[in-house]
Structure 1
Amino acid sequence: MTKKQGMRSALMALALAGGLMATAPAHAEGTLTVSSPQDPGSWDPVDTFLVNWSSVATNIYDGLTYRGPDTKLVPGLATSWEELDNGTRIRFHLREGVTFQNGEAFNADAVKFTFDRLMGDEGKKGPQRSNYAAIKSVEVIDENTVDMNLTQPDPVLLTKLAGYGAMIVPPKYIAEKGEDFFNAHPIGTGPFKMVSYEPKVGVTLEAYAGHWGGAPKLSMVKYRFISEPSTAVAELQAGNVDLVIPPTIPIGMIPTIQEDENIDVVSTVSPTVYALRFNTGNGITADEKVRKAMIYGVDRQAIIDSILGGQAAPIASFQGDLSFGIDPEMKPLPYDPTKAKALLKEAGVAPGAKIQIDIRGNDATFNEVVQAVASYLQIIGLNATIKPYETNVLLNDIIPAGKTGAMFQQSWGGWTLDYDNTAYFMYHTGEKWNPYDSDPDLDKLLESQRAITDRAKREEILQSIAHYTADRALEMPLYNLNAIFGVSKRVKGFVPVPDSRLRLTEVSVD
């Protein structure tokens, strides 16, 4: 038996042990099967922030605007728009003849309903509303025209309208069925309709032939929620899955996958960044000196070189090279264990002090990274233990409630490719992802840039925010990771997208 055959046999055995593998690969005609690592739990656009929601829901819903793999913004449900009143009013001209997947008409009333709901009590329950805080009201001008009135200009709003909370939803359907029903039975105007959803297991989408952009090439897309990376790879190699989406594939398994003549590994630069954020509210990491000592004490470049295999780049702030607001001259703190030990001594931290690092349990690559981090921290005198959580538990119950250890994993897509979309959520007082810190000066900086339309001036403020947060050592910036996809060669027309928001209309399968 060759090494390749042995590896394949081992992976197939693993899949069989998990009860996930059929006796032989079988594909319905025109069906694409996708492995996604997480069930978002709700399909309502106002309920979520998760990339794994968007990798499915980008096919179910449309926004007024659309941004594709080339990152250029183009018309969506709005065919055109103009900014009026010095940017405090945007008039949208809507696409005519569009219907939701249940036959309900899309029109100006649907747009108003969507944003009234987002900015009202229903939106208040979820994490998306503050992203659209500049919207004061939506006014129906006629059946195919709406005005979006803003409290102040928002230079990123048109991009925000291409995803997540701004996806247009059907008012009559929601009124008839109710909010809870809509969470599990979404209806949009997108090219695929969800026809089944089994929590923790998967969803099935069928092509919507009536889509305004034309029917998709695929007849069906099946998403399977496979949280264990090795199982997802085994299913890909067994032919039971056609596409594995980020952040599933462990870096260490890429060479093995590349040996398989039926599979391609495709990667592209992404906005996704990884950090270990600090509990600044209590414990030894409430002290800035301790936080900086921990950053100095970890050789992040060595981790990138040894574990990430060229699929990542170092970062100095919590953003990657695609982000508007990055300062290319800003450098990460260097690896300096001597300085780290000195800072810990100044802070009065006793050798052997214990800290806890909270992570997502299903992220195999990051698990290796954090093991290395813990080893480096041990060298400077800190005893780090790693606590894995189920992803939804960590994101929904632990971090927002301020129940983490000294450090906690934060990966962030920054899907607008604008630092505001990261920084405001991470650092502004009262935001879900900022359970510990409150800094009035930082709040002012974050708020000030949101109303500025002068691109150069706004970029300067965003760069100052990056420097400010680095000076305060609010997180240990780790790396900007490529988006890595495992793709069966039976898949045609697949284009990797930086933000994993997959639109599958042009994809087909042999």
Structure 2
Amino acid sequence: MTTWKTLAVSTAVAAVALTGPGLAQDVAREDTVIFDLDRTIRDPQNFNWFTSGTKRQHGAHQTMWEPLFILNYESGELDPWLATEIEANDDFTEWTMMLREGVTWSDGEAFDADDVVFTVDMVLGDEELSEREAATIRAQVASVEKVDDLTVRFTLSEPNPRFHVENFGVRIFGSFLIMPEHVWAGEDPATFAFYPPIGTGPYTYTSADTNRAIWDRNDDWWGAQTGFQDLPAPQRVVFLETGGEESRAQLMAANQLDAAHSVSIGTFEAIQAQNPNVIAWYSDYPYAWPDPCARQLEINTTIAPWDNPDMRRAVGLIIDRNQIVNIAYEGTTVPSQTMFVQYGSMQPFIDAVVEAGHGLTPSADVEAAQALIEGAGYTMGSDGIYEKDGEDLSVAIHVNSASTEYTRTIDMVAEQLNRAGIAARTVPVENGVFWGEVLPFGAYEMSYSWLSCGSVNEPWTSMTRYTTDSVVPVGERSPGFNNTSRWDSDGAAAYTEIVDGMANMALDDPAIPGMVAEAYGYLAEEVPFIPLVQAAKLLPYNTTYWTGWPTAENNYNHPAFWWNHTHQIIHNLEKVE
């Protein structure tokens, strides 16, 4: 744990970190906002975001490349940005997008429908462009056409009422970014480095090295010229690789970092002890913001005795979520009520599930769990472990060893199961094995995961991950990590029918909450996975130089500053005078 004594050396460390090649000294610290970068920039002179690698989150899509829309996590609505609106036809097979008038690239060229059509056509014609957003467009769009200079029509391969959010709304991390035709035309899109890069955003590229990228304000930005937005207050934005939790804590305490990646509660309290200007999403416990991927326990429904829904329900009843919160997370999260992340835009669906009686309780009911176990023919042995036919009731729980969050949570679950009479042991495996072998091939009895991740403003995206069309035999790779539990019962079929019926309904259809509750009844009855707690991202923000950071009280949007919506965060910053 980081201590106050450790942080006392921070000033010297910070001074070294912010000097050296690539960081000019002509902008004052109080006019500069410094964001934490949690990775090395492998190729500082490559800005081709269509191919894998760090090409965006070192400032490119937070300051230079603007999204078409930004999803508001609280309301579930799309805030217009480079585009003003997007509308679908009646069956959601065609979408027409209207672009904002007056947008220009930083070199003065107009941003218009030609750029959108060019970028989409480029992706449709080149499968080497492998980044997720490019692959999604290629999978969903049959053709794209220019209607006029500010209007684009997309024809989809099949109906999709979520097309606009999935592709253009910064639903999770990024969105499909439009590139300037006048720069990219004639280039090989799989190898073009796009250096130096340009964008439409209020900042232009200044320099980059493997450990930092610098972006300076463009006072001729189109948004200020047209009245769309005022110029952002920071004159310079720096993304600085901090090298880990202790280093970012030192920099934050010394006022040489304004926004940091997630830290432990002990580190956060140590930072605050030295720098009381540091805040988080909540002003008190749980402090942390829940990212979209709520944590859960996955159960392989093909392996006895966990192929029995009563036994899976018993495990769910044994788990004490409050204890996981208090011990494994040290109070920095909250118990999950359902499979969904607990955002304002998801609340109608969570409420529907809870009102139908399918919500989760934060505490355990061990007595009810043991009744189910005994009903399955088990008796308690003298050693406190259930047995049947001479065999102990046991389970191995696989967990990714890459994070203490994961291992501490599963250690807590295993302890709870052991106390209730199930001989549980944890099986830590390294990250590549966990995601490459254990989860996708069903090589586990139970495992820690967040495979319900996906829904942030509507329920279908997460719920469709457990439909029967994704079921494959153990030993074959589950498509997209969907239904790795191999849930394939009559209840799963009924669940699938309901969820499939939601697929092509408008996102605001009033029938959807009721359908969610009905489908969730099958999850509650058969328990192919067990929701545990919300994810915890304790992100420190420094108010010494800048205020206006997103918080639970000032939740114009969420605080994940490595995402494409960071434009909103930067525009909300106000300089401390």
TM-score by length of structure 2 reads 0.70
| Alignment correspondent of 1:337 | 366
1:478 positional shift: 1.5
Identity, % of aligned pairs? 18
Q: Which runs of 5+ in 2 are unaligned?
A: 20-24, 225-230, 283-288, 379-386, 471-477, 552-556
* Structure 2 partner of 1:259: 273
2:292 to 267, 272, 286: 272
For the residues of structure 1 that align with 2:219 and 2:514, how far apart are their CA atoms?
Answer: 47
Alpha-carbon deviation of 1:182? 4.8
CA contact (8 A) 1:400 1:434 kept: no
Structure-1 separation of matches of 2:59 and 2:457: 17
Offset at 1:396?
A: 6.4
How many angstroms does 1:477 deviate by?
Answer: 0.8
Q: Return closer, same or farther for 1:318/1:492 CA change in 2, 3 Å cut-off.
A: closer
Match of 2:501 in 1: 448
Is the 1:341–1:381 contact (alpha carbons within 8 Å) kept by the matching residues of 2? Answer: no
1:419-450 residue CA offsets vs partner (Å, 9 max, x unmatched): 23333356562542326237573554444312
3-state SS of the aligned residue for 2:165?
helix
> What does residue 480 of structure 2 align with?
432
- Residue 376 of structure 1 deviates from its aligned partner by 1.7
Q: Is residue 73 of structure 2 the alignment partner of residue 7 of structure 1? A: no
Q: Give how far 1:127 is off.
A: 3.9
For residues 156 and 328 of structure 1, the distance between their equivalents in structure 2, rounded to whole angstroms, comes to 25
Shift of 1:299: 0.6
Q: CA deviation at 1:382?
A: 3.0
1:103-252 alignment, distance < 5 Å: 105-117=110-122, 121-122=126-127, 125-128=130-133, 129=135, 135-150=141-156, 154-160=160-166, 161-163=168-170, 164-171=174-181, 173-174=183-184, 176=187, 178-182=189-193, 188-193=199-204, 201-214=211-224, 215-226=231-242, 228-245=244-261, 248-252=262-266
Counterpart secondary structure, 1:274: coil
Inter-partner Cα distance in structure 1 for 2:59 and 2:317: 36
CA distance in 2, matches of 1:62, 1:68: 16
1:336–1:166 distance in 2 versus 1, CA, 3 Å: same
Report the residue type matching 1:205 in the other structure: W
Alignment of structure 1 residues 261-300 onto 2, 5 Å = 261-267=275-281, 270=290, 272-278=292-298, 280=300, 287-289=307-309, 290-300=311-321
Task: For 1:370 and 1:43, locate their aligned partners in 2 and report how far apart those are by CA, in whole Å.
Answer: 39
Q: What amino acid is the match of 1:61?
A: W
Q: 1:230 to 1:275 in 2, by over 3 A?
A: same
Q: Cα distance, 1:153 vs. partner?
A: 5.5
Q: In the alignment, is residue 493 of structure 1 matched against residue 493 of structure 2?
A: no
Cα deviation for residue 499 of structure 1 reads 5.9
More divergent stretch after superposition (204-213 vs 135-144): 204-213
Q: Give 1:114 shift.
A: 3.5
Give the Å deviation of 1:43. Answer: 7.2
| 1:70/1:476 CA distance change after superposition, 3 Å | closer
Structure 2 match to 1:402 = 441
CA shift, 1:377, in A, is 2.9
* C-alpha separation in 2, matches of 1:455 and 1:216: 37
| Alpha-carbon separation, structure 1, partners of 2:221 and 2:191 | 26
Query: Is 2:357 the counterpart of 1:357?
Result: no
| Larger strand percent | 1
Provide the aligned length of Structure 1 versus Structure 2. Answer: 495
User: Is the CA contact (8 Å cut-off) linking 1:304 and 1:310 kept in structure 2?
Assistant: yes
Distance 1:154 1:369 in 2: 37
**Cα distance in 2 between the residues matched to 1:82 and 1:34:** 36
CA shift for structure 1 position 452: 0.9
Separation (CA, whole Å) in 2 of partners of 1:368 and 1:222: 34
Letter in structure 2 aligned against 1:402: F
Q: Residues 201-222 of structure 1, C-alpha deviation per residue, up to 9 Å, x if partnerless? A: 4544343445432343223322
When structure 1 is superposed on structure 2, of 105-114 and 34-43 the one drifting more is: 34-43
How big is each residue's C-alpha offset from its partner over 1:76-135, in whole Å with a ceiling of 9 and x where there is no partner?
Answer: 222344444565433222223433456664221222233345556538844445589664
Gaps of 5+ in 1: 1-5
Please tell me the residue identity of whatever aligns with 2:541: V
C-alpha distance in 1 between matches for 2:434 and 2:110: 36
Please state whether the residue corresponding to 2:274 is helix, strand or coil.
coil
Partner Cα separation in structure 1 for residue 512 and residue 128 of structure 2 = 28
Letter in 2 for 1:433: F
- SS of the equivalent of 1:315 reads coil
Deviation at 1:456, TM superposition (A): 1.3
Q: Deviations over 1:156-179 (max 9, x none)?
A: 333332223433233454452633
Contact 1:356–1:407 (8 Å) recurs in 2: yes
Distance 1:55 1:387, change over 3 A: farther
Contact 1:358 1:387 in 2 (8 A): yes
Name the amino acid aligned to 1:292.
Answer: R
- CA distance in structure 2 between the aligned counterparts of 1:103 and 1:8, rounded to whole angstroms: 50
Classify 1:286/1:301 alpha carbon distance in 2 versus 1 (closer, same or farther; 3 Å). same
Q: What SS does the corresponding residue of 1:384 show, helix, strand or coil?
A: strand
RMSD of equivalent CA atoms:
4.3
Scaled by the length of structure 1, the TM-score of the pair is 0.78
1:328 is aligned to 354
Assess if the C-alpha contact under 8 Å between 2:399 and 2:410 holds in 1.
no
Change (3 A) 1:65 1:473: same
Corresponding residue number in structure 2 for 1:3:
none
Distance 1:478 1:116, change over 3 A: farther
Alpha-carbon distance, 1:365 to partner? 4.4
Could you tell me which residue of structure 2 aligns to residue 372 of structure 1?
A: 412
Contact 1:316 1:332 in 2 (8 A): yes
| Corresponding residue SS for 2:481 | coil
Shift of 1:190: 3.0
The letter for the 2-side match of 1:148 is F
